[in-house]
Amino acid sequence: MISESILTLLKREKKSGGLSASLLSSSLSLPTSSVYEGIAELRKLGYKIETEKGKIYRLTSVPDSLIPLEIHDNLKTKILGKRILSYRTLKSTNDLAYRLAEEKAPEGTLIVAEKQTAGKGRLGRKWLSPPERGIWMSLILRPKIPPAKAPGLSLCTGLALVKTIREKTGLQADLKWPNDCLIEGKKFAGILLELSAELDKVNFVIIGVGINVNQVQNDFPKNLKGKATSILMESGKRYSRVELLKTFLEKLEKIYLNFKTFGLKFYLDEIKGSSSIMLGHKVKLLYGKEKIRGIVKDIDENGSLILETRSRLRTISSGEVTLI
């Protein structure tokens, strides 16, 4: 892509004085007219490129847009995000990812959208996805694991996310089994795993992740006030969504590869360490139609919750937990 090559050169020369159109054209063996077109395309995407005396081009700022040009820049993954499909608006990145996976899209394909009009949570619930405020994304994975092990990927994803937020922002992010990430008890991210499997093998897994990055209080409706939060609301700072996404992909890839080889037990201690808001605490749990109360004793190697109820220890594979 012409604009990508121009961008690479402009980024390299960012600190020096910039580059002239003729130098760009000779370095890339392109006619100058293509250089002008490429520059215009980059500006349309939100790159600020100054021209000095109409001759020297200098990149002064890059957009925080979830576009392949930015996500691919210095992304240190081998699988995740190697192929990126990025959209201004989608109904749901998970729905598109599922369709593409059925059509044999390769493992690691990343679908991102600046806005979702029908973002999904679990059990038909809605996920609020306002434009340009968060990261709304889905990944296609094809792990060769038995279907019973797949839910462990939800905890692996949560762990990658919690590690990313702690490292990049210093905020104390926590895991709430099985698919929430919280800061100060409020939800800033949710994970939606969708599975296509046969009895003994997984065809593919879609990992959908929604991360609230730069929302302010008024971006949330009344019913979510006090329950939902964003990185901006907790830190008082705006963070680059592109940078957070890249770090998250790098961490998730490492965890995913170890998970496939060694199973969830490889990360169990870290997962438990990040779940301290739940472990040892009293909870209410909605398990299908059953309501259970108990104390969270452990998380096992399948990613199930071990709950001590009044009568016995129970192993719960999925459900909705409320801390009490």
CA distances from 293 to 279, 283, 296 (A): 14, 6, 10
- The reply on whether position 93 binds ligand BT5 by CB under 6 A is yes
Please identify which residue in 151, 158, 190, 319 interacts with ligand BT5, judged by CB under 6 A.
190
Restricting to residues 100-129, which ones interact with ligand BT5 according to CB under 6 A?
A: 116, 119-122, 125-129
Q: Are 49 and 43 in contact (CB under 8 A)?
A: yes
Nearer to ligand BT5, 12 or 126 (CB): 126
Work out how close the CB of 55 gets to ligand BT5 at its nearest, in angstroms, rounded to a whole number: 44
Instruction: Please name which of 157, 164, 162 lies closest in space to residue 274, comparing C-alpha atoms.
Output: 162
Sheet holding 48-52, edge to edge: 19-20, 56-61, 48-52
- The reply on whether position 179 binds ligand BT5 by CB under 6 A is yes
Restricting to residues 216-275, which ones interact with ligand BT5 according to CB under 6 A?
A: 224, 228
Instruction: Please name which of 85, 224, 81, 99 lies closest in space to residue 160, comparing C-alpha atoms.
Output: 81
Residue whose tokens read 């590690």: 163
Please identify which residue in 86, 94, 164, 275 interacts with ligand BT5, judged by CB under 6 A.
94
Count the Cβ atoms, other than its own, within 10 Å of residue 78: 10
> In the complex, which residue's CB is closest to ligand BT5?
190
Please identify which residue in 83, 187, 272, 297 interacts with ligand BT5, judged by CB under 6 A.
187
Work out how close the CB of 207 gets to ligand BT5 at its nearest, in angstroms, rounded to a whole number: 9
Q: Are 188 and 182 in contact (CB under 8 A)?
A: yes
Calpha distance 303→300 (Å, rounded): 5
Nearer to ligand BT5, 26 or 322 (CB): 322
Work out how close the CB of 140 gets to ligand BT5 at its nearest, in angstroms, rounded to a whole number: 12
Work out how close the CB of 228 gets to ligand BT5 at its nearest, in angstroms, rounded to a whole number: 3
Nearer to ligand BT5, 38 or 119 (CB): 119
Q: Are 194 and 256 in contact (CB under 8 A)?
A: no
* Tokens, residue 28: 């890339």
Residues that bind ligand BT5 (CB under 6 A): 92-94, 116, 119-122, 125-129, 136-138, 179-180, 187, 190-192, 208-210, 212, 224, 228
